[in-house]
Homo-oligomer: A and B are copies of this chain.
Amino acid sequence: MDGRGGPVVRCDMTKSLTIGMVLFPDFTHLDLTGPFEVFGRIPGARVRAVAASKAPVTSDTGLHMMPDLTLGEAPQFDVVCVPGGPGVNAMLEDRDMLAWLAVQAGGARYLTSVCSGALILGAAGLLQGYRAATHWLSMDLLPLFGATPVAERVVVDRNRITGGGVTAGIDFGLVVAARLADDATAQRIQLMMEYDPAPPFDAGSPERADPDIVRAVRVQGATYLEARREIALRAAARLTPIG
């Protein structure tokens, strides 16, 4: 299907499939809403938004979402998905979130992330020895958590599936849907979502965007990225190396 990663673990679609998507303050909502739109259309799938409390969670661009469950109420999910965003910085040292992810990892079929959400999986010690994707601006932080950065839209390594920045979550969602169900299901979802992209500009990757645009985006993100490096170093120092 996507030619990457290990064996495909297909779910028994006769029973319900549960997918838990994590919300936290200042997350980038499209990291979550892209795959949510895909996952919500998988027959038999039940997608739940999970957060520290039941209060509305506000994204970095000001969209408010309501969680379905608190971390404490959440059952063991078949698939866990962690989005990214500026709020990742706080999550890298959020003991409740990291502990919850470590517990979920024990029973989940797939542990997944989109964008800088990979760093949260990393800080929970769940990417040691794995290949992973993340937002291009955070790629250099993955090795701190023992992960190998891969500049692809979607990276499958055993049961870890990680997507690149923000909109990569849609490509990621379709790859995951094909594994959870089958290629035809993913294609039906793609057609219903009319996912036949036609960006009006060719500026979606640092390799192809105008260098002035790349520079401007780096400057724009500089403050939280500098803070993120310091926090990631502290978080990485707490990990117990594996192997």
Contacts and interface: CB of A to CB of B under 8 A. Distances in A.
Number of copies: 2
Given A37-B29, A61-B47, A62-B47, A190 B199 contact: yes
Given A33-B63, A66-B65, A199-B171, A204 B213 contact: no
Contacts of A154: 198, 200
Contacts of A2: 200
B217 A199 contact: no
Q: Interface size bucket, A side?
A: 35 or more
Given A37-B28, A200-B154, A188 B220 contact: yes
A241 interface: no
13 contacts: A28-B37, A33-B63, A47-B63, A49-B63, A167-B170, A174-B201, A178-B201, A187-B213, A188-B216, A188-B217, A190-B201, A191-B205, A196-B208
